[in-house]
Structure 1
């Protein structure tokens, strides 16, 4: 079982997003909170894997799509090196496959960038305490498609027949 931050401890947050303006906005939101601090940032997968373990964050906020890879791989690698870190995926893309991959990689949360700032801060707090935080609409669609895979399939097009289900 992972250790949770003490009630009076500051939650250490690591930001990974390829857009500087997003990182700056996240830093402003998080650093305004008395119980949180941003301990570092990265714009690429390589930077995240080099900096993250050295910073020992409690929470890593990860963009799903990065220029040299993806945040899901970063999540998997960070969690293998630091099982106690909680990964919160933050993405523009409402993608069921990415949500499932993130969960399988060990992410504690998955939220869309359309989230309100106060809700994002709450999501960071939620995953920092060992709980899960998943975007409700994406999760509902994923659960529906898992329960009824036939309903989620698009009409068959012979051009798509050669592709796997995931490629489609």
Structure 2
């Protein structure tokens, strides 16, 4: 019998990044992509509609912030672990991610196996 798949929502304002993450995660038999959002409003709509288990969210969502996404989803009553992803190597973002309640922070340069293992760890209640 198959166990429940980990439902993953991806939020990034760059289509190429979304598609790359979809390709990486979709290959995993214990995960499924439930949606992709390109901005804060669409991400909140999908969170409310799809109730994902883990959200991969870019720190920068155009003129908006992935940190605002965490705050607003918490205010809406959702307790979903967020893994922030970024192309910037800056310790400020790590402390800001922790401060805002993210379960972790990953570089967009992370290998696929690191990304999927981080999703599993976060789903199991760990930080990455």
**TM-score normalised to the size of structure 1?**
0.71
* Cross-structure match for 1:118: 113
User: 1:79 deviation in Å?
Assistant: 3.0
In structure 2, C-alpha distance between the alignment counterparts of 1:98 and 1:60, rounded to whole Å: 17
State yes or no: 1:99 paired with 2:94. yes
Q: Which runs of 5+ in 2 are unaligned?
A: none
Partner of 1:140 in structure 2? none
* Separation (CA, whole Å) in 2 of partners of 1:109 and 1:53: 22
| Contact kept? 1:90, 1:113, Cα under 8 Å | yes
Choose from 18, 21, 29 the match for 1:23: 18
Aligned length: 126
CA RMSD, 1 decimal: 1.3
State the partner residue of 2:53: 58
Contact 1:18 1:44 in 2 (8 A): yes
Cα distance in 2 for residues equivalent to 1:122 and 1:9: 16
C-alpha separation in 2, matches of 1:10 and 1:43: 23
The CA distance in 2 between the partners of 1:41 and 1:54, in whole Å, is 12
Runs of 4+ in 1 over 4 A off after TM superposition: none
Is 1:11 the counterpart of 2:6 in the alignment? Answer: yes
